[in-house]
Structure 1
Amino acid sequence: MSLLKRIPNPIVKRKEEVYKQTILARYFHDLEGEPDFPLNLALISYEKLQETTGSQEELFRYMAEDCIFTSLYATFYEELFAVIQQNPEYALPLVEKFSSQQEEREQIIAEQAELHMNFIESKGLCPGCACCDNHADVADLITYYQRGDIDFFTTLYIGMQTIQFSMEHILYDVIPSNPSMTDELTKHNVLQLRQYIFDYVEERI
């Protein structure tokens, strides 16, 4: 799915209605006001990134590539949640297995993110690589990258980081302590949550 694609919503709804319809949003808001609220963690990540990068150009490129990385990582969460939703009796073993494979998974995602980044930096041209079939998912970023739109990538970076921390919270905190909620982990519900969180972040930064 395109990094910028949104769930169709032909009717403009009040925030309260959107929240009520986003069934997983309550797990996001459970942490609101706490130090480990996903948006707080995302802002800390952004501040650390600013401190460790040597220039605006380095910051800009890192944010762009990390947006791709976290989007790919979110897809792994979505797939895992779908398996857990269909096989709730194996929820805890699946969570443990996912955790144990973190290093291997991050290596795979990093390689894919780099190939997508090369595609973006080449203005949509690719001589052929292992990710060619999925380049369309990041094609929308080319225009923003080529014009150096750092504000766009700052918002996207913080939004994607917030989504990442929210997914981690559901996987490692919510599911083990509340196994009965696994029937809520449909692909539609997870995609709705991603959009809800990003909209929430956009309004606050």
Structure 2
Amino acid sequence: MSMIERFFKDSKASPESEPVSLANYFHDLEGSPDFPFTLALKAYDNLKASASSQEELFYFLMEDCIFTSLYATFYEELLIAVKENNDVAIPLIDRFADDSDERERMIAEQTQHHLSFIENKGLCPGCPCCENHQDVAELIQFWQRGDIDFFTNLYIGMQTIQFSMEHLIYDVIPSTNNVIDLLNHKSILAFRQYIFDYAEEKSL
């Protein structure tokens, strides 16, 4: 599934009728400096300050959007593993944290392959990520148009998801007995979409 399909709703789609079971764990930090949306805005301000030009900011935004989207997949896989092996949930989380350097190195490499694919307008001479290029192919149109607003909104939404997932994994699960019972593919995807929609609405 492409990044566009994952996070941007089809206006013709029927609205979700089910409550988002994990949403309370997103809002429990609302009003504090550690609220994921607040952290995402701060990350954006820091990224903007680090860019020497609008063009560089545009590139940084696209790069980080791809990186964070790839990272979110690992968070989702971890949450499913925690659900399926709840008796060793904490060791799984600890091991996930210990492997962060290697995981980030791998994701950074994948990100660069996807960036090259986008910059080359969908052409790839062959790379380890070829079979997954379709996940980012729809970004080419926004890259070619120089649509920095699109990538800004995507960046803030993705960062909000990342900070929310980190809060759920490292803070909520180790301290909340019943949260693991709420984890499944559907609830995790709904949680992710809820967060992105929240960030998108707040950024308007």
Corresponding residue number in structure 1 for 2:45: 47
Q: How does 1:1-205 map to 2 (within 5 A)?
A: 1-6=1-6, 10-12=13-15, 21-205=19-203
- Tell me how far apart the structure 1 counterparts of residues 27 and 118 of structure 2 sit (CA, whole Å): 34
- Tell me how far apart the structure 1 counterparts of residues 88 and 119 of structure 2 sit (CA, whole Å): 42
Deviation at 1:74, TM superposition (A): 0.2
Total equivalences in the alignment: 200
- Tell me how far apart the structure 2 counterparts of residues 183 and 84 of structure 1 sit (CA, whole Å): 10
Q: Cα deviations across residues 3-48 of structure 1 (Å, max 9, x unaligned)?
A: 11147783236xxx6xx61111110011111110000000000001
> Is residue 91–residue 179 contact of structure 1 (8 Å, CA) maintained in 2?
no
Give the SS at the match of 2:178: helix
**TM-score, reference length from structure 1:** 0.94
Task: Specify the code of the residue in structure 1 equivalent to 2:175.
Answer: S
CA-based RMSD: 1.4
Aligned identity (percent) is 58
Listed as ranges, the gaps of 5+ residues in structure 1 are none
- Tell me how far apart the structure 2 counterparts of residues 32 and 133 of structure 1 sit (CA, whole Å): 39
- Tell me how far apart the structure 2 counterparts of residues 4 and 196 of structure 1 sit (CA, whole Å): 15
Listed as ranges, the gaps of 5+ residues in structure 2 are none
- Tell me how far apart the structure 2 counterparts of residues 70 and 133 of structure 1 sit (CA, whole Å): 19
Runs of 4+ in structure 1 displaced over 2 angstroms? 6-13
Q: Cα deviations across residues 97-148 of structure 1 (Å, max 9, x unaligned)?
A: 0000111100000000110011011111100000000001111111001110
